[in-house]
Structure 1
Amino acid sequence: MPTIKDVARAAGVSIATVSYVLNNKTGMVSETTREHVLEVAQRLGYRPNINARNLQASRTGLIGYAWHKAPGGEPSPVLDQFIYHLAHAAEQQDYHVLTFTHPGDNPIRVYEDLIRSRRVDGFVLAETETNDPRVRFLIDENFPFVTFGRTANDWEYCWVDTDGRDGAKQAVEHLIQQGHERIGFLGWSYAALTGDDRLQGYLEAMENAGLPVDKDYIARTDYKTETIESVLAQWKPHNLTAAFVVSDYDAISLMRGLERNKMPPMAVVGFDDAPVSKFTRPGLTTLRQPLREISTALIKMLHERIQNKDCIPQNKLFKPELIIRESSLIPPNAPAPR
């Protein structure tokens, strides 16, 4: 098995330089040298002694991530895809992801146990709430963590998120371009900054276009069939012709409700680009989150935080991509099915 000395000899650099590169001390070497050393190490099949490195640094090489049950028991394909990209990004930095679960009413106990037993070097949190107790606890503990999503705006910590406000504006502007003026918003029934951001984007796009928004245009859903029926009843007097919906599964539920009640079809845009969205009839226009890039950014932030707990918290927003399919191309005067 090749050693660090073999890599240094083949790369034509010192052992110290190879050590700087392999330990991600980016300020010590140029980017050209770094790439050259990594290429040589990969070509030689060099693998660092993880156990020795972890013992020396008192680290486990593990990152904790809690699985979540989506509200209403609905599938969560976005988080399924996210955890795959997260694990891949972690492995690029010589970490592995340790998954666990926690009680919904008391998540802190599991995090506290993992910290006290020194089984993880840091955490990645997802499905964050407005005043998430996990975030507050980890801030107070000064333990390395990052979040996919945001909580209270005045808390200082590392997070990466999809720009839901920008995505909502893209969706509504697209519907307006198709000739729609009476556009509804279908959001979640529970409080979340993610949903609030998407609502603000919807409102801004409507205001920018000079289109009125009646209070009944804004509806909420909790994943139940009867809720969709209530939403349709709320919207019916206003003759809405289009809707922006905060998730693909809610958008599909809306489309099925319209069909079930033999109502005129609405132009619909969802959010997430769930795998099922391309198989609906019509295919669902939606917003795709850049999960690979988000995961890479999260692991980079967390690695820096593990290396230096006193580093300045970083935040990053990624814009989603509008994926246009047939569901948003339905004209405002589409007839009801017979």
Structure 2
Amino acid sequence: MGIKRLASTLGLSIATVSRALNDHPEVSMQTRERVKAAAKAIAYSPNQSGRSLRKGRHNTVGLMLPPKGSPQHHNWDPFHTLAEGIQARIASEDLELVLFQSSDPADELSRLKRVVERRLVDGIILAGTLRRDPRLDYISEQDFPFVTWGRSLSGGEHSWVDFDFEVGIAQEIGQLIAIGHRRIALVTPNNDAMEGHLMRHGYRAAMRRHKVSVQKEYLGRDEVSERGGHREMTRLLALDAPPTAVIFQSDCMAVGAYGCMQSLGQKPGVDMAIFGGVLTGELAQYLTPTLSGFSVNLRPLGECLAEALLGHMAGQTANLTGINAHQLWPLDILHGESDGTAPA
């Protein structure tokens, strides 16, 4: 049954029924309740496209994923779980989630401009932030609600939720030093990803705090992939004084390092301590030895991002239910067998 027949059944005008369904103050409470009860009884659902045109809204939230082939997009699992959390939160507001992804970084800004200028969604969450991010410089100048998964030097003051990389790295380095490691390497993405900058900053600060010198050759950068991890481990093992422990940004890089060591007759976790960084999925527990790394629950993080964005969409300051405009998300260390051995 359409709104015309619903109005006819109630003996009301179409305009009155429409206003009642949208809680218009010009319609009495008694009439609103009567219309809603009748609509519920016949499972009436308003035409969403018509409502969007009238309200100037689409009742959708966008999530812009990193471009295919970029370091941040190597593994889809974390974004899938994050999207589940976002969808779970916005569903209570009768909103839907739309995903956007570009084929390469060069097209990403153009796509964002199309989304914003055509108002294809009511608000957007941007992932995979860079230290200098042209997307944020652009969108911060628009009258458009957005939040980011990750920090950046771009975009001025804006709301973000990000992993607490500095604290997480400091905790792992403290544990490695406590069992005797001093030659500790760090391998991060080879692009301008903000997470790489934060991990290197946390690494340097922690090493200084423990009065351990930072060797330039122990700071490696490569693509976030098994291939990148294999290349970096090959380079590190060829040094005159190889590190006794290596911290990787991601578990996929650690997998490549495992393969490199095993091809040379060395054992991860025995001949060298390996820390897998941010763990995605269940991969870590099926490696031999089991891989240590940062365990994160991305579903509630997605809900947090959605909460912040809803605040901006409502014209607030992203402070609903105590969610701050800037929030650091804790990284918990999941202890496996790969990083608990003292150096030989």
Matches of 1:112 and 1:133, distance apart in 2: 11
Q: Indicate the residue corresponding to 2:3 in structure 1.
A: none
Q: Indicate the residue corresponding to 1:293 in structure 2.
A: 300
SS in structure 1 at match of 2:166: helix
Matches of 2:154 and 2:166, distance apart in 1: 15
Closer, same or farther in 2 for the Cα pair 1:316/1:229, shift >3 Å?
closer
Q: Indicate the residue corresponding to 1:40 in structure 2.
A: none
Q: Indicate the residue corresponding to 2:325 in structure 1.
A: 314
Matches of 2:136 and 2:252, distance apart in 1: 28
Report the alpha carbon displacement of residue 50 of structure 1 after superposing the two structures with TM.
9.3
CA deviation profile, 1:5-30 (whole Å, cap 9, x unmatched): xxxxxxxxxxxxxxxxxx9xxxxxxx
Q: 8 Å contact 1:185–1:245 — kept in the other structure?
A: yes
Q: 8 Å contact 1:288–1:320 — kept in the other structure?
A: yes
Which residue of 233, 244, 247 maps to 1:244? 247
Matches of 1:309 and 1:116, distance apart in 2: 22
CA deviation profile, 1:274-312 (whole Å, cap 9, x unmatched): 221121111110012342332122111111111117879
Which residue of 261, 272, 283 maps to 1:266? 272
Matches of 1:148 and 1:303, distance apart in 2: 15
Q: 8 Å contact 1:220–1:231 — kept in the other structure?
A: no
Matches of 1:151 and 1:141, distance apart in 2: 18
Verify: 1:326 aligned to 2:329, yes or no: no
Q: 8 Å contact 1:143–1:309 — kept in the other structure?
A: no
Matches of 2:250 and 2:221, distance apart in 1: 12
Which residue type is aligned with residue 88 of structure 1? Answer: A
1:173-322 equivalences in 2 (<5 Å): 173-222=174-223, 223=225, 224=227, 227-228=231-232, 230-234=234-238, 236-263=239-266, 265-275=271-281, 276-308=283-315, 314-322=325-333
Which residue type is aligned with residue 266 of structure 1? Answer: M
Paired positions, count? 290
Which residue type is aligned with residue 168 of structure 2? Answer: G
SS in structure 1 at match of 2:259: helix
Report the alpha carbon displacement of residue 178 of structure 1 after superposing the two structures with TM.
2.6
SS in structure 1 at match of 2:279: coil
Structure-2-length-normalised TM-score: 0.75
Runs of 5+ in structure 2 lacking a partner?
1-22, 24-42
Matches of 2:44 and 2:278, distance apart in 1: 37
Structure-1-length-normalised TM-score: 0.76
Matches of 2:163 and 2:44, distance apart in 1: 35
Report the alpha carbon displacement of residue 252 of structure 1 after superposing the two structures with TM.
1.8
Report the alpha carbon displacement of residue 49 of structure 1 after superposing the two structures with TM.
7.0
Matches of 2:148 and 2:327, distance apart in 1: 11
Closer, same or farther in 2 for the Cα pair 1:110/1:191, shift >3 Å?
closer
Structure of greater Rg: 2
CA deviation profile, 1:97-117 (whole Å, cap 9, x unmatched): 111222421323322333343
Which residue type is aligned with residue 281 of structure 1? Answer: T
Q: 8 Å contact 1:142–1:309 — kept in the other structure?
A: no
Q: Indicate the residue corresponding to 2:78 in structure 1.
A: 78
Matches of 1:101 and 1:129, distance apart in 2: 16
Q: 8 Å contact 2:184–2:244 — kept in the other structure?
A: yes
Closer, same or farther in 2 for the Cα pair 1:190/1:112, shift >3 Å?
closer
Q: Indicate the residue corresponding to 2:38 in structure 1.
A: none
Identical aligned residues as a percent: 23
Matches of 1:295 and 1:262, distance apart in 2: 42
SS in structure 1 at match of 2:167: helix
SS in structure 1 at match of 2:106: coil
Q: 8 Å contact 1:82–1:292 — kept in the other structure?
A: yes
The root-mean-square deviation of aligned C-alpha atoms, in Å, is 3.0
Matches of 2:276 and 2:310, distance apart in 1: 33
Matches of 2:74 and 2:123, distance apart in 1: 28
Which residue type is aligned with residue 286 of structure 2? Answer: F
Closer, same or farther in 2 for the Cα pair 1:240/1:101, shift >3 Å?
closer
Q: 8 Å contact 1:290–1:318 — kept in the other structure?
A: no
Report the alpha carbon displacement of residue 195 of structure 1 after superposing the two structures with TM.
0.6
Which residue type is aligned with residue 340 of structure 2? Answer: L
Matches of 1:229 and 1:239, distance apart in 2: 10
SS in structure 2 at match of 1:298: helix
Matches of 2:163 and 2:108, distance apart in 1: 24
Runs of 5+ in structure 1 lacking a partner?
1-22, 24-45, 334-338
